[in-house]
Structures are given as C-alpha cells and as structure tokens.
Amino acid sequence: MTFSTKRLLPLIPNNISLPVFAATTNANARRFAATSNSASNSNDSNDTTLAMWFEGVYPIKLSRWDPRHVWARYNAKQLKDSAKKEVIPPQETFKGKFTYLNSVSSIKEGGLLVRFLYEGDKKDAFETIEKFIENKGIRSLIVGGSRIKSHPVEGVPWIEDLASSIPSARINLSFQGPELSTEQLYNEFRKFGKIDTINIQQTAKDSPKDGHVEFLSSKAATSARVCMNGKVVGSTRIFVSYEPLPIILAVLTFLSFLIFDPMRVFFVTNAVTERFSVNRYLGFGIGDVFSSSKSFLMSLIFGRLPDVASENDFDEEVESHFMKERKEYEAKLNIFLKETPETAMLIYGPKGTRHTDLIEKCTKSEPYIMRIRLDEIINQPDHIFLDQLSRQTGCFPMFNWTVSTGNLLDTIVTATTGTKAGFASTAESQIRKIFEITTIALNRIVHSEHQKRLAALNHFQLSNQAPPSTDVVPDIEYPVIVIEGFLGNEKAKQAYVYELLTEWTNTLVEMQVAQVVFVSDNPAAVKYLSRAIPRKTIETIALADASFSSSISYAQGRLGLVFGQKLPVELELAIHALGGRLTDLEQLVQKVKAALRAKNQSSNSNNSNGTILQKLRRTAFVSETHDLSDAALATPEQLADAASRAFNDIVVRTETEIRKIGLFEDIGVATVSSSTSPSKKEWTAVQMWKIVQLLTKFEEVSYDDLRYHPLFKGDETAIQAIERAGLVSIGLHEGRPYIIRAGRPIYRTAFARLQSDKKYSAIMGLKTVKTLINDETATLKEHESELSMLTGQILTDRIGMWGASDLRSRANFVAKLIGESHVKLAALDAEERKLKKLVKLVE
C-alpha cells in the first residue's frame, strides 16, 4: 500500500492494494536525462517537450544503509503503469493538446519525473497539473502520509544513482556567467520550500563565486536540485548539487531513523491512548492518592474534611443547571468531535470565559486526546520550549540540546576545515519533526480503529447474521488534538509555532486522522485560521460572558443558598459590575465564602449555640443542617457585608493591575534610564489614561474615533498592543475593528474608581496636557518656520506677480494654522493651571 487520496485513507484495509507508480530502469533514466534538454525553456511552441517533478512519492534516502530505499527499489518495477492515471489530469482539462511520453522515478530523491509534449503555452500545462494535484490531495503513506506536490522543471534534470550523492537539506550552487545576488537566489528557490540560509562565497581570489542554499527540509532541497539544475537566470546558468553529509552526521541520521523514530512513535501513541497509564486501569492516579491522603489527614487534625472536595463535586451540577447558555456550545462541540475530521474548530472568547471548562466537559469520554498548552511553554528558551512541547505530545527522545550546541559544533568544524558540518538544527525543524512523528502515530491509531470496525463487519458478513446495530459494531474514535492558548502571544520568541500548527492542522484534517480544536482569547484568531487553512471552513464557538440572570443563579448555586433565599442588594450590584465573567464571579464567590467562614469561626468560639450548630453540621445524621452552607446560615446583613468586602477587594486589586500594566506605575527612575527604556513600550501612560476616561463615561468607544485622537495620531499600534495586554477588547464589524470595550467588565468599575481619585486624576491630567502641549508646540514651530521661509521668498524681487500671489495664499493659510495652534495652546495652558491647583502643596 503506497498511495491514497484524502477520501480513501481512513478506510483502506491491509489486503487492498492501491495503484502505484512505476519507475524505469537505470538505462531509461540515463536516456531520459539525455533527451530532457533546454527545449523545455521556451515559452511557446507547437510541440514543446516539458517535464514535471512530483515530490513526496518515496521516502528520501537518508544514508547508504537506509532500508526504506532498498524496499522502494525492490518495488519500483510495479509503479509505471499507473503514473499517467494518478498524476496527469484528463485531456479535456488542458487548453492545448497534451501527449504523455514517459516517467522516471528518482527513488533516492523521493520523487517522480514525468515527461510530456504540449502544444500551447507551457504555463497553462504546468498550472493545470499543479491545480489537479492540489485538488486531488494524493498522499504517500510510506513517507508518513505527506502530501505529494508538483513543480515545473525549469532546467535540465539530472537523474543519477551515484552512491556517494546523498540528498540533504543543503545544496551547492555554481554559476556559469555573472554571479547572482542573494535576492535573486531567494526569488528562484523560495517556491520549493522555506529557506534557512543563503550564502555566496569565493574560494579563491580569481575563481568564480559559489553559493549555498539551505532549506528547512530535505524534500524542498531535492525538488530544487531536480528542477533548477541547468536553469538560465539572465545570462547565468546555475548548476545544483548536494552538500556532502559528514560521516558522523549520516550515521546519526540513520540511527535516528532506525532506532529513535520508532521509539518516538511508540511513546506518542502511548501518550494519546494511555495504554500503560495507571489512571486507565486503576481508575485513579498517584495525584489522586496524594489528594485523598491529604484530605484524610486534615480530617483527623481539624475534625472534618475540607470544603474543597464538596465544591468540586458541585461545580458540574451548578453549571449544568444554571449555565444554560453553554448547552448549545456543548452540543455543537460534541457533534464536531464525533464526526469524521473534515475541518478544524476554534473556541474563542475574552479572557475569563473559561474556555477550558467547556473542553474538559466535552472530552471526558474521548479515548484519544492530546493537549498542547502553548501558554505554559511559549516565550521560553528554545531548548526548554522544545522539551516542554515534546513532553506534551509524548515525543521522546528528541535530543533538543542539539539546537543550542549544534551551532557551536558547526562553528568549530567550519573554522578548522573550512566547510560547514551540518550539525546545527533549528528549533523550527525540531518542531516539524515532532509534528511529523505525531502524525504517524495518530495515523496508526486511526488505522487500528478502522481495522476494528472492519473486523466486526466481516464477522457479521461471514456468519450471515442480521445487519449489526451500532452497539455491536464500534464507531471509529478519532484522536482529538486540543491546542490551548493559540495566538496568545504574537510577539513571543516562538511566534512562528502558530504558523507551524496551522500547517500541521491542514495535514491532519486532509488525512482525516484527528479532530483539531483551537482555544484562543485573541479575536484575530478567526481571521488567522481562515487565512492559514483556506480550503476549509473553520467551525467556531464564540464564548461570551454569562447573562445577569445566569450569573445570579451561578452565585446562588456556588454559595449553597437555600431555594427562595434572596441575595442582598450589595451582592447583586457586585455581580452586575462583574458582568458575567465567570472567573471574576468565581473569585467573588470564594472571597464571600472565606469571609463568612472566618466570621463564623471567630463568633463560634464564644458562642455556645454556634458551637452546638457546628457540631450538628459535622454530624452526618442531622440532614436538616448538614447541607446548609455558611452563606445559607448567614444573616442578610452578614452576607451583604461579606459581599461588599469581597467586591471592594476585587476592585482594589484590579486598580493595581491597571496601574501596573496599563499606566506603568511600577517603572522607577532606574528602570527608565536603563537599557530596557520605555521606548520599547508599545503605548504610553497618557494613551491608556485617555481610554480609562472614555470607557468610564461610555460602555464602548468607536475604534476609528479613538485612533485619530491627537494622542494616537492615526496609529493603531498602541490600541492593538493594549488589547494584547487584555486591558481592552476590540469588536469587529464585517472583518474590521469597529468598537473598543473594557477587557473585563470589572475594568469599568476600576476605571471609574481611578478617575474618582481627584489627586490621581489631576496628576494623569497634567501628564496628558503636557504631552499635548509638547506636540502642539512642535507643530507650531513647524508652521512658524514655514511662514518665515514664505515671507522671505515673497519679499525677493526674483518672484513674479503670479508666483508671489500663490505664496501669499499659502502664507495666509499657514498663518491661520498658527492662530489655531495659539488657541489650542492657550486652552491647554489654562487646563494645566487648573490641574496644578489640585496638586499644589500647601506650606
């Protein structure tokens, strides 16, 4: 079994053989290389000989001892008959006459070279074949299910079987003619894949310069070598060859394939299936044993079990009963997880809407699940990031230390031998390797699921029994990949991982081997995924804050209030200010519980009735009091006081957060003068203060109006940076930024508290006025300088009457602008004097 389309891959049993491609003999390869000449370089011809290269057909040869290469050569004779059928579109799809000639397999380079005649523009033939291959989505299972791609041959391909020529990601270039620039080489070779480095060097003083292009993958390098060898760019002919691999590196590569890759696939499979997990077979893990032991010891010491356990047991009941808005989301996600993978899903919403709770609830019964938590690992040093990613995917061992030490080894070898050793590996290449291994493991899991279902169906067919029910024939359980924190830090060091994840998702979905669920609090994630996965419609679940009625019900349930017991006004006002943000509601509930518990403990020490009540509550036989919580037993006054204290504590902490993150109050004089100067800050304190003022007065502000305020000057960089910090949220309308709201509903209360502080408001007002005065003064000086220049030109005798008239019109206009600036400066000066009176020291 070698090839499959994306539609057939999950349903192929072992006993079905798919059509495969055939290779010619070595003699045919030499004959093809001799006849495939520069005739393919002409643009239009009535009978043009052309060639197309298809990459990813076979596994690329890693070393002389690569067993996959031996297997591919042994089966190569079976592949020729179906080449035309699989990769060449029907004749009617071409604009001109198409004639298939022959095909040559370059097993070492993992591809197939097809030669044909075409009457018409060769670009039409190439585009037709490329579009056909892309839409058909053919994949080669023996190379991990990677997708087959096509490239037009622009030079003279050289198909050889030299034992010493091993494909590598680094290719050598020699030029016959004037040397080419780095930009020209990039434009010529970028279409084959991502490039790591491009170097142009001269070995001797009078010798021609040579070039090196290093791709991130060997597959791109092999395609470039076949398609670009002998191509003429301008008046320069390019010759392409592989960079020889050092013996040590070749051995390590071979050992990695032969020993470590199967180990990695095994560990990834085990991480997803939990075949050797204690939790799966015993129903509990070491963490559960520790938690239970801790609770038992606390019960012996304090006379009762802690309330945490009962709260956790109550969470699911409360949410299922009171949070009715989420029922629709749960149903949509559950349906998505049970379908055949055909697209990805994005769950997004503002911070604090508890995305992960929805994921946890819907994936409890999923047998195969993998979670990648980007927030925990991103923006770390590369080796730590890779170690954490490997641990989350289960990919072991990965030797991520080579990322940091490989460059050092390369430098040492290059300094001593003059050639690059190739020991270095990039973090991006390591991530791609992790995703490739994971894809193979997931593919095997899905294949096993198909085999189980097929075996059940065959059993009923052989026994001539009635059609089986869904209870007897198992459904195919697809692995679920949950990617949390997607696009959470676009400025992070490893921000490129977001693009790699979307590329990997595209592969998983097209191969139909896993359901991928992205979780993000960045509103730009919708557009990012739609652009990165253009051929699929992304399923979305947009989480919003809970309604006021649901928030009240949630608080009642979490506090354990008796049915019909009304909440005090203070608590309702606090819930209204929190705006349905679940994390803030939970924080309020926990603070109220803690305050009531502390009050009861202090009052019960001197109150015999309280002591008796506590004893009754500890007794499981007294059912009437056992289920009553501290909130249910508290008086309305006690509950109101606890709610007021809890809410005030939340607001104070939020004010501190805004001052620290948004207004940079934690930056001292020493920090400002250090290397990490405020020039790296993406917004200023006065810009954030203007947002505080506006969102205190209005629930939402126009994005465009704020953008063109004098403090922002039409630049939206600061607004978007403030959004990334979570201080504001930007609402979209028809795909573009439209309105600005507070990042959390509680921020509006904190904004109002900040502005109600007259002294603090006056200080920030002085900073704002000072900034506006400086900006307006600079504008005024520019106008005055221009007016002085215009006046000098008008007074010269060399300007005619018409020229002087134009200059006078311009001078009058500039003079008007100067007058307007004076008015603005006068108003700002008056405002500054007024604010200074509020912060004047009385001596």
Q: Kindly report, residue by residue over 657-686, the tens digit of the pLDDT.
A: 999 999 998 644 333 333 333 346 889 999
Are 8 and 136 members of one domain? yes
163 three-class SS:
coil
Same domain membership, residue 627 and residue 586: yes
In this structure, is the dihedral angle defined by the CA atoms of residues 26, 30, 36 and 38, taken in order, positive or negative? positive
Least confident residue range of 196-200, 305-309, 560-564, 587-591: 305-309
Taking the C-alpha atoms of residue 339 and residue 797, their distance in angstroms, rounded to an integer, is 85
With a cut of 80, say whether residue 109 has pLDDT above it.
yes
User: Over 60: is that where the pLDDT of 646 sits?
Assistant: yes
pLDDT at 405: 59
Residue 505 confidence (pLDDT): 93
Number of H helices and E strands in the chain, helices first, is 33, 20
- The mean pLDDT value for 222-229 works out to 95
* Residue that finishes a domain, picked among 124, 152, 180: 152
CB 396 within 8 A of CB 267: yes
The answer to which of 282-296, 354-368, 461-475 has the lowest mean pLDDT is 282-296
Residue 117 inside a domain? The answer is yes
Task: Indicate if 697 and 745 belong to the same structural domain.
Answer: yes
678 residue type, one letter: P
Residue 524 or 368, more confident: 368
Of 9 and 98, the one with more pLDDT: 98
The answer to whether residues 145 and 177 belong to one domain is: no
Backbone φ and ψ for 5, nearest 5 degrees, come out as -80, 165
Give the pLDDT band (50/70/90) at residue 312.
very low
Is residue 808 situated within a structural domain?
yes
Q: What percent of the chain has pLDDT over 70?
A: 74
Residue 417 pLDDT exceeds 80: no
Confidence (pLDDT) at 420: 54
Residue 775 banded pLDDT, cuts 50, 70, 90: very high
Q: Which amino acid is at 150?
A: S
Listing DSSP states for 352-379 in one string gives TS-HHHHHHHHTTT-SSEEEEEHHHHTT
Q: Where are the beta strands (DSSP E) in 216-308?
A: 232-233, 236-242
| The pLDDT value given to residue 717 | 92
Stretch 167-188: mean pLDDT, rounded? Answer: 89
- Nearest one of 652, 654, 648 to 571, comparing CA atoms: 648
Residue 101 domain flag: yes
Domain count, the chain: 4
Among 85-94, 108-117, 669-678, 726-735, the least confident range: 669-678
Where residue 52 falls among pLDDT bands split at 50, 70, 90? very high
Phi/psi at 420 (5° precision): -80, 130
Q: Which domain holds residue 614?
A: 548-662
Assigned domain for 304 exists = no
Read off the pLDDT band of 498 (50, 70, 90). very high
**Cβ proximity of 50 and 116 under 8 Å:** yes
> What pLDDT score does 397 carry?
87
Looking at the predicted structure, is the pLDDT value of residue 404 above 80? no
Computed over every residue of the chain, the mean pLDDT equals 79
In whole angstroms, how far apart are CA 333 and each of 161, 356, 360, 605? 52, 12, 11, 51
Is the same domain home to 117 and 181? no
Whether residues 16 and 106 share a domain: the answer is yes
Same domain assignment for residues 615 and 721: no
**819 assigned to some structural domain:** yes
The predicted pLDDT at position 808 comes to: 86
Backbone angles phi, psi at 426, to 5 degrees: -90, 160
CA distance 526 to 228: 38
More confident position, 408 or 459: 459
Q: 4-18, 242-256, 604-618: which range is least confident on average?
A: 4-18
- pLDDT digits over 313-354, tens only? 444 444 444 456 678 888 999 999 999 999 999 998 887 777
Q: Are residues 702 and 653 in the same domain?
A: no
Asked if the structure places residue 496 within a domain, the reply is no
Residue 757 has pLDDT above 80, yes or no: yes
Question: Is pLDDT at 41 greater than 60 in this prediction?
Answer: no
Q: Check whether residue 766 and residue 809 sit in a common domain.
A: yes
Residue 100 lies in a domain: yes
**For residues 196 and 213, what is the distance between their CA atoms, to the nearest angstrom?**
8
- What is residue 813's predicted lDDT score, i.e. its pLDDT? 94
In terms of average pLDDT, the best of 95-104, 353-362, 366-375 is 366-375
Instruction: Please tell me the least confidently modeled range out of 105-109, 710-714, 790-794, 817-821.
Output: 790-794
Q: Are residues 197 and 113 in the same domain?
A: no
* The pLDDT value given to residue 672: 34
Q: Is the dihedral of CA 363, 369, 371, 372 positive or negative?
A: negative
pLDDT on residue 139? 77
**Same-domain pairing of 138 and 58:** yes
> What is residue 234's three-state secondary structure?
coil
- The CATH number linked to 239 is 3.30.70.330
> What are 469's two structure tokens?
């029910």
Within 13 A of 467's CA, how many CA atoms are on the CB side? 1
Single out the residue in 91, 125, 152 at which a domain terminates: 152
Q: Is 482 exposed, middle or buried (0-12, 13-18, 19+ CB in 10 A)?
A: buried
SS3 842: coil
Question: Given CA atoms 716, 719, 722, 726 in this order, what sign does their dihedral have?
Answer: negative
pLDDT score, position 475: 85
- Measured CA to CA in angstroms, residue 681 lies from 691, 728, 752 at distances of 17, 17, 25
Q: Rounded mean pLDDT of 628-639?
A: 86
* Helices 548-559/307-322 angle, 10° precision: 150
Quick one: average pLDDT of 75-92?
71
Please state the rounded mean pLDDT for residues 143-156: 85
Final residue before a domain boundary, out of 192, 224, 245: 245
What is the per-residue pLDDT for 412?
Answer: 55
Q: Are 226 and 112 in contact (CB under 8 A)?
A: no
pLDDT for position 30 = 41
How do beta strands 515-520 and 345-348 pair? Answer: parallel
Whether 484 maps to a domain, the answer reads: no
Would you place residue 43 in the very low, low, confident or very high pLDDT band (cuts 50, 70, 90)?
very low
pLDDT for position 31: 39
Structure tokens at 614: 């506590």
d(CA 257, CA 261): 5
Q: Give CA–CA dist 588/567, Å, rounded.
A: 14
Give the DSSP H/E element, type plus range, for residue 384. Answer: helix 382-393
pLDDT at 199 over 50: yes
Q: How confident is the model at residue 294 (pLDDT cuts 50, 70, 90)?
A: low
Q: Which residue is associated with the tokens 């495969």?
A: 20
Amino acid at 468: P
- Rounded to an integer, the average pLDDT of 698-715 is 95
Q: Are strands 480-484 and 515-520 parallel, antiparallel or unpaired?
A: parallel
655, 697: one domain = no
Give mean pLDDT, residues 720-730: 88
Checking if the pLDDT of 73 tops 50, the result is yes
Contact call for residues 231 and 155 (beta carbons, < 8 A):
yes
Residue 380 tokens read as 């770390």
pLDDT of residue 604: 56
- pLDDT attached to residue 575: 94
pLDDT at 614 over 80: no
